[in-house]
Structure 1
Amino acid sequence: MRAPPATAWLVLRVLLFSTHEILTSNRWLMHPLLFSPLYRRYLWGGRRFATALGRTLPPGDDFAESWELVDREADQSVVAAGALKGSTLGQLVQSHGRDLLGRHSPQKAFPLLFKFLDANRDLSVQVHPDDARAATLGAPDLGKTEAWYIVDAIPGSRIYAGLREGIDHRSFAEAVRAGECEASLHSFEAKPGDCIFIPAGTVHAIGAGLLVAEIQQSSDVTYRLHDWNRTGSDGKPRPLHIEAGIDAVTKQGPVEPTRSVPTHDLLADPVRRLVTSDYFTFDHVRPTSTWTVGGDDRCHFLTAIDGSVSFDPEWRLPQLVRGQSVLLPASIGQQPLHPMPGSRPVQLLHVCMP
């Protein structure tokens, strides 16, 4: 038998190498990641994930949180559609980190957490430490900086954020120890479209009647300072963390909302920057035509709070509708999102790492 010519061997080697690259590369697997929500049920929850976001919920009126993006040891977002269906976010961070996170890789875990909160009752007055103070206090996590976007609000609902003018750390500490800190808190009536940036070290509480979208560092370190003198499901007051919480308060003065009101031509630029921080950027987007996002070597997270958009047909994925979220991996490049004809005007929340 005659040996194949050298050019044939070269072609064969190229084909074998290309096949190996396809089979071992993470890039070809990546696609827009739609996750199944994780629900948390607490006494202060309600049913607005169904009534305001169009979700189908089991019976019950205590659905308090819906985690849309999470990578923690005990809680994992699971891909709901596409080639990676069934994979957890944590698995993808470990096995596909460069393609998922781009220039922000490597990471031990996805560094951000996104959730919806349905506050049917007032949440406790609390504070999260910053990274350095969390380490000093022996906390198991990093600190937590977060931001809220008010999706829906019953008239008169309030946000508590920061301290009133003239309240210093010492007087606030005395009020907390006396169980009388309400008068020290800065508050305002919240309206849909408000965004409130809560840096670590800021005293805060979400009032009853609010549906909130929250982006935060992926941390669970919370010090409860006041719980409105109520009892838990066991009939006993919930534990407070007075001294650790007082020590974690590093921000004084009031926090005011940023209001997402269109002030420019949406056709020219549909993006309104709400928050820029060391941990994330947070935008409100109102695309009136195809809007392209990505292609900058980082992942992009989007939540639809009104209307619906479609992905390019190549992905064979369902539309992103009100109340649903998607994570766009860094490696898939620029992605056009197409507002669906006949849908309500599209509103998206957009999160990136800086």
Structure 2
Amino acid sequence: MDWYPLRLTTPVKQHVFGGRAIPDRLGRGGLPEGPVAETWEVSDVDGDGARIGNGPLAGRTLRQLTLAHPEELVGRGRHCTRFPLLTKFIDGHRPLPVHLHPDDTAAREREGEPNGKTEAWHILDAPPGTVAYAGVLPGVDRARLRQALLDQDFEAVLRRLPVRPGDTLYVPAGTLHRFGPDTLVYEIEQTSDLQQHAMRHRMEDGSALDEAEWRANIEALLTEWRPDARPDFHPGLRLPSPDGATGRMLCAGPYFALERWRVGTEAPAPLVRPFDTALVLSNAGPAVTVAYGTGSETLGRAETLLLPAALGRVEIHGPADVLLGHLPDLDRDVRAPLLAAGHDPAAIAALGEGLD
């Protein structure tokens, strides 16, 4: 098969916390009227899986390609029951629910799903003074957390972190969290839609939960809560860069890594990116040209291409401001280039998990 960059169908979530930042501020076209909370750029979640929208593979589902061609799509030795990365643009025009996602063990044992969800948020835009919740304050135990959730007194138990554009928060599964209002995020995560939230209303439409369902949600949340998870925002670490391009490793862990690359108009050559696992290329800036083999694709504002591992190499012609999500070998793809750039091991470990 001659592989090529894949354009995917994009599930759109019009939850009540959404606004119009994705079309109006990021410039994404083709979205429905009304609030747009999330666009699922790459998704193999059951019920919300993407289909290929271009080329000879058009109409095939991402799940079908993952099962039939795991090494060519995902990478050598990576045999998966579903595509392992989920990426989104999220508009927290209003605050999201206070919630958490189960880890792999809880997902398998409690939900019958193959994996839980560790995620990371890269902040694209937020006004000064914006805060997010991530993890509980030191000394908060299960009983105190339960009572605060029943009282809906989140300030009493959750850590408030300042939110700044360009920073990234790696959120391990089991971490209580929330962002918004007026926070525009690019999110990368494990492929899962499992969550437990503490609100008295439904995330989708704001309708009220009955008392029994709400209390059951809180008990399920407490069972899956990870008390010691207290992540912090990180500005990322500079990567070794070719002339005219600047790159930063934003976060990294066993499930994913995320980078941001900028190429100015003065760049003498395109950004050349070799890869041997699937690469999710999302555009945070103006339209760019993505060249591969003997072909090329134009990637518009706030659009995404899924680059199959078999492609092996692409060129991104500037000016460009792009996000690259991938499945890392932590030693080869994260530690080694960052150590070569002069970063110390403690700074590298702070990017996520598994880097100690």
TM-score category (smaller protein): 0.7 to 0.9
Which residues of structure 1 form unaligned runs of 5+?
1-25
Q: CA deviation at 1:190?
A: 1.4
**What residue is the counterpart of 1:347 in the other structure?**
321
Match of 2:220 among 238, 244, 248: 244
**What residue is the counterpart of 2:280 in the other structure?**
301
Q: Tell me the matched-pair count.
A: 320
2:317 is aligned with what amino acid? Answer: H
Give the TM-score normalised by the residue count of structure 2. 0.81
**What residue is the counterpart of 1:275 in the other structure?**
251
2:39 is aligned with what amino acid? Answer: S
Partner of 1:110: helix, strand, or coil? coil
Alpha carbons 1:303, 1:324 under 8 Å: kept: yes
Which residues of structure 2 form unaligned runs of 5+?
329-356
**What residue is the counterpart of 1:100 in the other structure?**
73
Q: CA deviation at 1:230?
A: 8.9
1:16-31 residue pairs with structure 2 within 5 A?
26=1, 28=2, 30-31=3-4
**What residue is the counterpart of 2:312 in the other structure?**
333
Alpha carbons 1:31, 1:315 under 8 Å: kept: no
Change (3 A) 1:168 1:48: same
Over alpha carbons, which structure has the higher Rg? 1
The answer to whether residue 18 in structure 2 is matched with residue 45 in structure 1 is yes
The answer to whether residue 271 in structure 2 is matched with residue 291 in structure 1 is yes
1:167 is aligned with what amino acid? Answer: V
Match of 1:116 among 83, 89, 107: 89
Match of 1:195 among 160, 164, 168: 168
Q: CA deviation at 1:123?
A: 0.8
**What residue is the counterpart of 1:20 in the other structure?**
none
1:18-97 residue pairs with structure 2 within 5 A?
26=1, 28=2, 30-57=3-30, 60-97=33-70
Give the TM-score normalised by the residue count of structure 1. 0.81
Alpha carbons 1:44, 1:121 under 8 Å: kept: yes
2:186 is aligned with what amino acid? Answer: A
Alpha carbons 1:172, 1:184 under 8 Å: kept: yes
2:272 is aligned with what amino acid? Answer: T
Match of 1:180 among 133, 138, 153: 153
1:219-276 deviation line (CA, Å, top 9, x unaligned): 111001235x799847524753111101111143643211248698773873211212
My pick for the range that moved more, 69-78 or 307-316, is 307-316
1:132 and 1:246 map into 2 onto residues whose CA distance is 15
Alpha carbons 1:142, 1:221 under 8 Å: kept: no
Q: CA deviation at 1:124?
A: 0.6
Q: Structure 1 vs Structure 2: percent identity of aligned residues?
A: 31
1:252 is aligned with what amino acid? Answer: D
Change (3 A) 1:264 1:110: closer
